[in-house]
Structure 1
């Protein structure tokens, strides 16, 4: 599983950076894969407010890191951690740029009525520090975090906020910090890490494997974590398959085929499903493997893809009964 940290402070190495790093270090020790985006240095272009995403489902800015990488990471992550100092009772301008660009994900959810496969299990965590001690110091930040997490299909599950943290490195001396971090790990990370891991593999990882993986994730995500990959990954998901899933309200936008190594995210699966012509091969040595000799669809018309989707639903349902 992946935890994505959004380091929103323009001060690299400051209190916010340290707080996020301390949480992610503990998460990695618990068995999660972690990645940090230093938002101030990411080169994300601000939202134009043009409304393009509401009529097209994608952002009009197609050539910056947000479109090239960040949307995909937000979709891949099981837990998104937003970390920010308090600037004028709000989040930093740098983090706000990233959040504003998530209007695209809001549009896919509320305008196009598409549901991300991780929506039922993805969590959001807020980390924030402030030099002052005002009673309403974090009110605005909580509201921004609430609606940001909603837009990216994450449940706002926990927040750690600290007042009176001013000098560089002061957060390291914060009373109770270690206990707070341990509690946050217990609540937000361990329930996700402890799920069974199921890996779906097909030759290019572009059609059958990701279709099966998102079906299993959406249906059984509280008990399992799925991934999909290919021996020779394609550059993009099979578009007719993506459209077939959209016809039943499942959003596979911003996902890409992965290598088997990336799909594993550093953790060995409990079960591997090998689909298609490579069914005689072993994806992960030493791991229980189920083989589906389900051929690649001969055509890409809607009727063919819908038949594949329905057949895959039946296979996934029968397979997952073994986890009950």
Structure 2
């Protein structure tokens, strides 16, 4: 399980930063892989409001961290934790810049009718602190979070909000914070961590491995977490394969081939499936490994569809492994 934290406060070491760090520390202790984006220092270019994404499905801004990294991390994440202080009854300007750029993902979902393979299981959590105590203090931020999480294909599952937190570090003295976080860890994090992990591996990770991962995640996502890696990563996914999946309503637009070390964010899978010619040694020592001898498909649309049908048969066969008990050491 991979959790992406979005630290939206411009104050490093402030209450929002502490709250998010505490949440992620507890999630990591429960077995999750975690990563934090310090949004104020990420260098994200603000949305231009140009409408390009609504007609093209991609952002016209292609050279900033949002385009190069953050869209991809949002797609990899099983849980997105957005953290912000309250500024004028809303989100910080820094977090709002990131949220506004997710109009691209909104367009892919609603204008292009595409679904991310993790849509059924991804969760969104909101964390917020404020110095004042107004009755409607968090209403604006909660609405923003609701539509942000919807745009990134995450279910807005819970918000932790705290009033009257003013002095730097005051959140540490707020009663109940540890218990509130522990409740989310038990309810949301541990069930996702408990799923079996499958890593699909092909030589370049451009076609067969991501196809298998997407199909397995769609079918068995409530019981497994599927991802993919490459022995010699290609620069991008196969265009015919990605277009074929898009024609079926599946969004692989921000998936990228990754080395094995990065594919599981430091976690070990329970099963490795190598696709293609079997390697002489398992890609990850000590992990159960099977081989699907499916050859690479020619870079053509009809070949991609034939590959999908073949892959579907193999993915169907995973049910026996999924239903078998597993012992993690």
Unpaired segments ≥5 residues, structure 2: 324-329
Unpaired segments ≥5 residues, structure 1: none
Q: CA deviation at 1:314?
A: 1.5
State the match for 1:304 in structure 2.
Answer: 303
Q: Comparing 285-294 with 189-198, which one deviates more in the overlay?
A: 285-294
Q: CA deviation at 1:236?
A: 1.2
Cα RMSD after superposing both structures? 1.0
Q: Contact conserved, 1:39 with 1:95, CA < 8 A, in 2?
A: yes
1:73-122: CA deviation from partner (whole Å, max 9, x where unpaired): 00000000000000010001110110000000000000101100000000
Q: CA deviation at 1:264?
A: 2.3
State the match for 1:105 in structure 2.
Answer: 105
Aligned residues: 323
State the match for 1:86 in structure 2.
Answer: 86
Q: Contact conserved, 1:200 with 1:229, CA < 8 A, in 2?
A: yes
Q: CA deviation at 1:303?
A: 1.0
1:165-220: CA deviation from partner (whole Å, max 9, x where unpaired): 00000000000111111111112211110100111111111110110011101111
Q: Give 1:161-180 correspondences, 5 Å limit.
A: 161-180=161-180
State the match for 1:58 in structure 2.
Answer: 58
Q: Give 1:249-260 correspondences, 5 Å limit.
A: 249-260=249-260
State the match for 1:194 in structure 2.
Answer: 194
Q: Give 1:66-215 correspondences, 5 Å limit.
A: 66-215=66-215
Q: Contact conserved, 1:229 with 1:259, CA < 8 A, in 2?
A: yes
- Give the Cα–Cα distance (whole angstroms) in 1 for the partners of residues 139 and 174 of structure 2: 21
- Give the Cα–Cα distance (whole angstroms) in 2 for the partners of residues 147 and 157 of structure 1: 13
- Give the Cα–Cα distance (whole angstroms) in 2 for the partners of residues 100 and 264 of structure 1: 28
- Give the Cα–Cα distance (whole angstroms) in 2 for the partners of residues 319 and 2 of structure 1: 22
1:11-48: CA deviation from partner (whole Å, max 9, x where unpaired): 11100000000000111111111111111111111101
Q: CA deviation at 1:280?
A: 4.2
User: What is the TM-score normalised by the length of structure 1?
Assistant: 0.98
1:107-147: CA deviation from partner (whole Å, max 9, x where unpaired): 00001011000000000000000000011101111100000
- Give the Cα–Cα distance (whole angstroms) in 2 for the partners of residues 22 and 16 of structure 1: 10
Q: CA deviation at 1:318?
A: 1.6
